Amino acid sequence: MSVSASSYDKKSKNSLQNGEGNSVQSQSVWRSIIADRQKLQTIVTLLVLLLMIIVFSFFNPRFLTLSNFQNLARNTAPLIIAASAMTAVMIARGLDLSVGSVLAACSVVAASLAVKGVPLPLAFLAALAFGAFIGFLNGAIIVKMRVSPIIVTLGSLNIARGIAYLITPSAILVGLPPNWSTLGTTKIGPFPMPILIAAVVALVYSWASQKTKFGKHVYAVGGNEEAARLSGVPVERTLISLYVLSGMMAALAGIVLSTRVGSGDPNIGVGFELEVIAAVIIGGTSLSGGEGRIMGTVIGAIIVGVLSNGLNLSGVEPFWQYVAQGMVLIAAVVVDKRVNEGVLRIGRRRPRAA
């Protein structure tokens, strides 16, 4: 990726220097953008996001304010964290439906420990470990027993939600220490803490997916599992690691979310997995694995966040927001399919000679 991006830069510099080659150069640059599914998809989603921002700011002047953007950033942070992890899982052709429940279970774990007087860092670490543990179970069962990830994580979705209620039978925990909300509500400069954490997660995931052997293995496993196995890629270890990370990132999202709202609530995160998957798919990750980028997902997550934030501000009833989100998701998949087919047609150079 980085190499093609730098050659793109070089090309545009060249074309600026010698004016005559300009149109030819830019034409080829355009062609390379059109032919590269990923780039095209990123551009399309960015345009959609821009359009949404314009439309919402037109409907409500409060949309384009710093405080609303800070609010938006705080709300979108858990989504970006969990969706970054989900992107890697889905690139490897997996799926993790349990993230919403794991988020709830882990935040309840952290909150109940905090109520008992356990120092916050330790409580948070315990929550992360618990999330990683559920992720490990997901991955191990999927890989070793060869069960479909949908089934396994649908099961653990229920299990984790059950655990959350078992820990706190009487709904919301009381007696949280006063510093509980620090993480979720502080700001560094104009930036709320949650979005900074999310940015770090997304950057690390993005770097790892492009610049490490592990990242290459993730793409290989999703693109052609058999080829990866025959090349000596540790397919099983790669997949299990991805689910462990997904569980851990769901836990982190849970910590961020519950410290922001200032409670330990077993009811949070219902339907969160669908928002996460929507963000990943809107961001251009291929449903059939092997393709996708973290930065696309970040844009996808922002689109999901802007959609609900914007609809809220425009006074649309919350129930309609579900409808809108569902439609955006379906539209994204349809666009994904179209773009894919279009590029395939361009990419196939030799039509079979008749």
Partner 1 sequence: MSSIDLAEPAPRTETGQPVLQAFGLSKQFPGVRALAGVDFDLMRGEVHCLIGENGAGKSTFVKILAGATQPDSGEILVRGVKAEMAGPRDAKELGLAFIFQELSVVDGLTVAENIVLGSEPGARGRFDAQSATATARKILLGIGFDTLDPDMRVGRLSTAEKQAVMIAKALCANADVIVMDEPTSPLEEQEVRQLFQVIATLKQQGKAIIYVSHKMREIEEIGDRVTVFKDGAKVATLNRAEATPRELIRLMVGRDLGDIFPAKDRQPGREVLKVSGLSGARIRDIDLSVRAGEIVGVAGLVGAGRTELLRSIFGADEVVHGEVSVDGELVPANSVRGAIRSGIGLVPEERRGQGIVGVLSVFDNVLLPWQEFPDSRRDNGEPEIVARQAVESMNVKTPSIRQRISLLSGGNQQKVVVGKWLTMKTRVLLLDEPTRGIDIGAKREIYKLIHDLAKSGLAILLVSSELPEVLGLCDRILVLNNGYAVGELPGSASEADVIELSMLHGGQS
Task: Examine residue 5 and tell whether it contacts partner 1 (CB under 8 A).
Answer: no
Residues of span 190-219 touching partner 1 by CB under 8 A:
211-216, 219
Among 146, 345, 349, 351, binds partner 1 (CB under 8 A): 349
Which residues touch 289 (CB under 8 Å, ≥6 apart)?
A: 90, 91, 92, 93, 221, 222, 223
Q: Name the region of 161 (left: φ>0; alpha: ψ -120 to 50; beta: rest).
A: alpha
Least Å distance, CB 264 to partner 1, is: 36
Note whether 354 binds partner 1 by CB under 8 A. yes
DSSP string computed for 138-204: HHHHHHHTT--HHHHHHHHHHHHHHHHHHH-TTSS-----GGGGHHHH-EETTEEHHHHHHHHHHHH
- Do residues 242 and 94 touch, judged by C-beta distance below 8 A? yes
**Rounded to the nearest whole angstrom, what is the least distance from the CB of residue 237 to partner 1 in the complex?**
13
Question: By CB under 8 A, is residue 347 in contact with partner 1?
Answer: yes
Near partner 1 in 155-184, by CB under 8 A? none
**Residues in 228-247 that interact with partner 1 by CB under 8 A:** 228-233
DSSP single-letter state for residue 285:
-
Minimal distance, residue 348 CB to partner 1, in Å:
9
Find the shortest distance in angstroms from Cβ 146 to partner 1: 16
Closest alpha carbon to 335 in 83, 40, 85, 18: 40
The residue type found at 30 is: W
Interface residue with partner 1 among 47, 54, 151, 227 (CB under 8 A) is 227
The footprint of partner 1 on this chain (CB under 8 A) covers a number of residues equal to 32
Nearest residue (CB) to partner 1, 4 versus 14: 4
Q: Which is nearer to partner 1, 239 or 307 (CB)?
A: 239
Least Å from the CB of residue 226 to partner 1:
6
Task: State yes or no: residue 61 binds partner 1 (CB under 8 A).
Answer: no
Of 76, 79, 280, 239, nearest to 153 by C-alpha is: 239
Cα–Cα distance for residue pair 340/336, rounded to 1 Å: 6
Supply the minimum distance, in Å, between the C-beta of residue 240 and partner 1. 17
Q: Which of 24, 35, 147, 174 binds partner 1 (CB under 8 A)?
A: 35
Buried b (16+ CB within 10 A) or exposed e, 286-316: bbebbbbbbbbbbbbbbbbbbbbbbbbbeee
Q: Does 11 bind partner 1 (CB under 8 A)?
A: no
Residue 99 near residue 90 (C-beta atoms within 8 A): no
- What is the C-alpha to C-alpha distance for residues 339 and 335, in angstroms, rounded to an integer? 6
Should residue 222 be labelled a site residue for partner 1 when binding is judged by CB under 8 A? Answer: yes
Each residue 102-141 as x (binds partner 1 by CB under 8 A) or -, in order, gives ----------------------------------------
Q: Which residues contact 8 (CB under 8 A, 6 or more apart)?
A: 29, 32
257 contacts partner 1 (rule: CB under 8 A): no
C-beta separation of 164 from 105 below 8 A:
yes
Q: Which of 80, 106, 220, 282 binds partner 1 (CB under 8 A)?
A: 220
Looking at residue 351, the DSSP 8-state letter turns out to be P
Would you give the binding string for partner 1 spanning residues 278-307, x where CB under 8 A is met?
------------xx----------------
Which structure tokens are listed for 283? Answer: 């961001």
Interacting span for partner 1 (CB under 8 A) from 63-71, 260-268, 276-284, 345-353: 345-353
CB atoms under 10 Å from CB of 236, counted, come to: 15
Q: Using CB under 8 A as the criterion, which residues of the chain lie in contact with partner 1 when the complex forms?
A: 2-4, 7, 35-36, 211-216, 219-220, 222-224, 226-233, 290-291, 347, 349-350, 353-354
